[in-house]
Amino acid sequence: SRIQTTAATTMATAKYNFKSITVVPTYKEFVDIILSKTQRKTPTEVHKHYKISRIRSFYMRKVKFTQQNFHDKLEGIITEFPKIEEIHPFFADLMNVLYDKDHYKLALGQLNTCKHLIDNVARDYVRLLKYADSLYRCKMLKRAALGRMVTVMKRQAENLQYLEQVRQHLSRLPSIDPNMRTLLVCGFPNVGKSSFMNAITRADVEVQPYAFTTKSLYVGHTDYRYLRWQVIDTPGILDHALEERNTIEMQSITALAHIRSTIVYLMDVSQQCGYSVEDQFSLYRHIRPLFANKPIVVVVNKTDVKRVADLPPEQQALFEALKAEEGVTLHEMSTALSEGVIELRNEACDLLLAQRVEYKSKSKRSEEITSRLHIALPQPRDDKERPPCIPEAVLRRKLAMEVPEHSEAFDHRVKYSGKRKLEKDIEEELGDDYVLDLKKNFDLANPEEKYDVVPELWNGRNIADFIDPAIEEKLAALEREEEERINSGYYDFDLGSDDEDLEEVRSLAKAIREKKGILKFEQRMKQTNKPKMPRVVVKKRERSLGRLRSEQRDLGVDIDSDEEGNHWDESLDQGVQHPPLKKMRTDEEGRVRSSSTMPRNRLGVKNEKMRAKVVKLGKKTQENKFNKNAKKGESDRHIPTSKPKHLLAGKRGMGKTRICRFDFGGDDLLGWGSDKSGNP
């Protein structure tokens, strides 16, 4: 039974969570969402070889899918909005005041009717599609079915807009739990209801010196006796007939009528609110029937301006008559000076707790609860009376917090008020003479060290304690020892080889920087605004076989000879001394290399050891590259397809595929195309 009660409470609380209601889309958004989902989720391609039965099922699926989406969307809206008959009477009446219960029910009912109409349209057209005899007829029936669904939905545009406004307003309502322990504050406008609520809770309700500053219900929470209490601040109520009250006042009347709580009725005897004491008593008598079976606390606020004792005798007689009423408690308070605020909260909470305990003791479950309770009473060990007391040392310490001058000599005549003197209070007392002192509360073994030059602490000790007085002598000894090591050659060692390598690297880097600068300068010169030759001018070939032969013959080399070593032309060799022929250079792999250029595998490599390391790393990199990409070698250029047809064919997106043909043989421009389904 305990589990069922907990589950029921959880379900009841969940009903009042109006902030979780999904956003209601407009008519156009509603239709766009449904139709685009139908277009994306159902196939849109029909081939000419499809049988008519397959085409029928294709279009029947589209109609059913659209109907199901409409049905689910509307069902979600109808289900998420609270039903007036199933929620607490407080929320039912509050919704009637704010949104008109009849209009709200009518909007949800029309959405429910729209849902059934769409279901009927889909059922009728699916029945017609079963007997369609061509692709064209199937398409027209599908188009008519979707059109009728959209037409039915179009009539709900105003209802959807109204429900979205209701949802936004519901989400802004305070999270009030009607079954929770509650203090309900009411009264005329501008009597101090919001100020009292701000004083006992963390709610930040706006407070202004004019009437009707609070225009809706506000809720705050406070703790008392390890229990959670909610405090509801209601808008001000005026003294006139119920039919003449506006929406702001009816919110207060609804809360007073339906929420089980302690009623805190505030009155302003100073009459700064603009209403006389007689008017406030008249309002109290008119709304008194709403307080039936609820504890009532009548509060006289703004006592810092005027008290009940300062009123005329006829007004004091009204308060005396009020005290004589059964179940009514009178209390005086001043929110400006915080006098009696906490006492009022405690008194109101105690009254409600006593009433709730009384109701539970009279219920049928009271015997079941009392049978499980066991009250343990301690047995006295002797006849000696031991009243509770506070040790004198504790009182002295508390008094020292409030009055520092009594910290040394404790005086029993000084009464401890229980309020600790804070830094804020000291600042208010001293005013402009106040100086913030952060060091006075330092807890040190020697209190005189609080204001040392180095007040930094480490491991509970002052850093100044770690200063060595003989630090200068130790530093001089270390300097002498270092000087002796330098003179004895302790730090001398040969850096010749390293200096040579470093010098070689520096010279190479310098040459690279110079070459890089020259290349940048040449590139900058090429990018200048030079006149450009027209395209008709053909650039002269810089290299050709004929030029090569003529230049070599001028040098005495016969490049047409096939005999090895016979490269000189004998006709040109008369009386002319030619330089000796250079031997052709070949690398390790047998390839001929120019005598003026270095092999590629030696460029940028300092020595043979580094070259072997580069070759090894290159082979390893190529192996990883080829193995990872499943290639045989450098010549393997096969690129596998990234979009295989069997994974991506079959559905089309939002665009259209058009096929167009033009015949220019005659005078007319002819063309034809096809839609997504392949229809002409």
427-431, 459-463, 550-554, 556-560: least confident range: 556-560
Tens of pLDDT, residue by residue over 51-65, are 898 999 999 999 999
Candidate ranges 260-269, 307-316, 447-456, 604-613; pick with highest mean pLDDT? 260-269
Tens of pLDDT, residue by residue over 209-248, are 656 667 678 888 889 988 999 998 888 888 777 777 777 8
DSSP 589-615: TS-EE-SSS--GGGTT--SHHHHHHHH
Higher pLDDT pick, 646 / 223: 223
What letter does residue 308 receive in the DSSP assignment? G
Per-residue pLDDT at 127 exceeds 90? yes
pLDDT at residue 454, as a whole number: 60
Confidence of residue 4 (pLDDT cuts 50, 70, 90): very low
Rounded percentage of the chain residues whose pLDDT exceeds 90: 17
Residue with tokens 């079954």: 179
**Residue-level length of the chain:** 680
Task: Mark 370-401 as b/e (b = at least 16 C-beta within 10 Å).
Answer: eeeeeeeeeeeeeeeeeeeeeeeeeebebbee
Name the strand (E) or helix (H) holding 266: strand 262-268
Per-residue pLDDT at 320 exceeds 90? no
pLDDT at residue 119, as a whole number: 95
pTM above 0.75, yes or no: no
Degrees, nearest 5: CA angle 557-561-565: 70
pLDDT at residue 156, as a whole number: 92
Task: Mark 402-441 as b/e (b = at least 16 C-beta within 10 Å).
Answer: beeeeeeeeeeeeeeeeeeeeeeeeeeeeeeeeeeeeeee
Domains of the chain by range and CATH? Answer: 17-169 (1.20.120.1190), 177-362 (3.40.50.300), 392-422 (no CATH), 436-466 (no CATH)
